[in-house]
A = this chain, B = another copy of it.
Amino acid sequence: MAQPPPLPSPSSATIEDVARLAEVSIATVSRAIHTPEKVATSTRQRVNQAIAITGYTTNAMARSLRMGRSNMILVLAPDIGDPNFSSILVGLENEARAHGYGVLIGHTQNDPERGLDYLKFLNSNQAAGLLLFTGHAPFGHQTMTERLPPTVGLFEPVFNGQISYVGVDDTAGARKAAEHLLSSGHRRIAFIGESRTRLGHQRRRRGFDLALDAARIPATDRLVLEGDGTIESGRLALEQIFMRGEAPTAFMCVNDATAIGVVNGLSARGYELPRDMSVIGFDDIPQATYVHPPLTTIRQPRSAIGRQAMALLLQSLDGPARPPEDILIMPDLVVRGSVTLPPRR
């Protein structure tokens, strides 16, 4: 008859249980786990057996308390639903896992109270490193970075550039987008989504200007409208343009959400796209494929950003402190159906 399997201890086993069973001291158990070469083979075997029987797993909390450092990385995002977020996460996690780190996610909702909760988490050494999504400084801007563990920003700089960040080369990407419109023959182009606060969006504006400068399009021929990067803001900007009565032949939008707003607005006004108007976005979010027409846009190299950001973070965890470093990855143009030649006058 088969023996019933050994009962796993109801509340999980401690290192002491293992030591007792293996008839060694707890120090030896710890060594058998972390520096096996310092333990005699026979002892090691007994310990491993005892671990198997008890089902022991080391209490990460006690471990971190003692070591003053955990092996978790905290990723803080203002909005988990951000379509950029979920795809970047996989890159982050793969890289972390390869180095023995786990990833936890915190959702701040741009609420400083919540940010503070996570700050306490960090101050208790419950995470060894911090990743900040989309340039938000979740603890209020005055936070001293000295109290934080090693930190890397994702997509946008944080804390006035006091820390490293990994992002896309917004200027170059935007320039590619604008050049695509120019080379399709457009001359009157509107830029939708001017921002005073978001650096990335400012850079995209700059890329737009660089391309149009190079093509010698006079500044007076450029329409620039403000927007906060939401679908609604795209629609709104469109209204303003039509109120002024100066319709361009193409729209370059600061991101895909804005572009979707513009596309919807144009369709609602009876324009047939892309015959009557061309629209280009930035980001390549999943929805970009499902708009009609599918959006031509600039693709965020998401998994590359995730991988590099985590790699950078892990370096500063293990290695010595290094000066902040900005890594910009070049994005690519994705041609779909929303850009064609301008209509004949």
- A interface residues, Cβ below 8 angstroms from B: 8, 10, 12, 57-62, 64-65, 72, 79-81, 83, 85-87, 89-90, 93, 97, 102-107, 109, 113-114, 117-118, 120-121, 123-126, 144, 146-147, 260, 264, 287, 290-292
Distance (Å) between the CB of A67 and the closest chain B CB? 11
- B81 contacts A83, CB within 8 Å? yes
| Given A105-B104, A107-B103, A147-B80 contact (CB < 8 Å) | no
Residues of B near A109 (CB, < 8 A) are: 90, 93
In the complex, A125→B14 CA distance in Å? 13
Distance (Å) between the CB of A130 and the closest chain B CB? 14
- A85 contacts B80, CB within 8 Å? yes
Residues of B near A117 (CB, < 8 A) are: 97, 102
Residues of B near A10 (CB, < 8 A) are: 146
- Contact partner, A80, options B89, B113, B144, B264, Cβ 8 Å: B89
In the complex, A67→B264 CA distance in Å? 55
Residues of B near A93 (CB, < 8 A) are: 107, 109, 114
Sample (11) of A-B pairs whose CB atoms are under 8 Å apart:
A59-B65, A59-B125, A60-B124, A61-B65, A80-B86, A81-B83, A97-B113, A97-B114, A104-B105, A126-B126, A290-B291
In the complex, A123→B114 CA distance in Å? 25
- Contact partner, A59, options B8, B79, B124, Cβ 8 Å: B124
| Given A124-B59, A144-B8, A292-B292, A104-B106 contact (CB < 8 Å) | yes
Distance (Å) between the CB of A253 and the closest chain B CB? 15
In the complex, A93→B8 CA distance in Å? 34
Total identical chains: 2
Residues of B near A8 (CB, < 8 A) are: 144, 147
- Contact partner, A105, options B57, B80, B287, Cβ 8 Å: B80
In the complex, A37→B124 CA distance in Å? 27
Q: Name the CB-closest residue of B to A125.
A: B61
- B106 contacts A59, CB within 8 Å? no
Distance (Å) between the CB of A230 and the closest chain B CB? 12
Q: Name the CB-closest residue of B to A106.
A: B104
- B106 contacts A60, CB within 8 Å? no
- Contact partner, A12, options B97, B102, B123, Cβ 8 Å: B123
- B126 contacts A60, CB within 8 Å? yes
Residues of B near A89 (CB, < 8 A) are: 80, 107
In the complex, besides A60-B120, A93-B109, A126-B126, 19 extra interface pairs with C-beta distance below 8 angstroms are A12-B123, A59-B125, A60-B121, A60-B126, A61-B61, A61-B64, A61-B124, A61-B126, A79-B86, A80-B80, A89-B107, A93-B114, A102-B117, A102-B118, A102-B121, A104-B105, A104-B106, A105-B105, A290-B291
Residues of B near A113 (CB, < 8 A) are: 97
- Contact partner, A287, options B87, B121, B287, Cβ 8 Å: B287
Distance (Å) between the CB of A284 and the closest chain B CB? 14
Residues of B near A123 (CB, < 8 A) are: 12, 57, 59
In the complex, A126→B146 CA distance in Å? 25
Q: Name the CB-closest residue of B to A10.
A: B146
The 3 closest A-B pairs by CB, nearest first: A81-B86, A105-B105, A60-B124
Residues of B near A147 (CB, < 8 A) are: 8, 12
Q: Name the CB-closest residue of B to A101.
A: B117
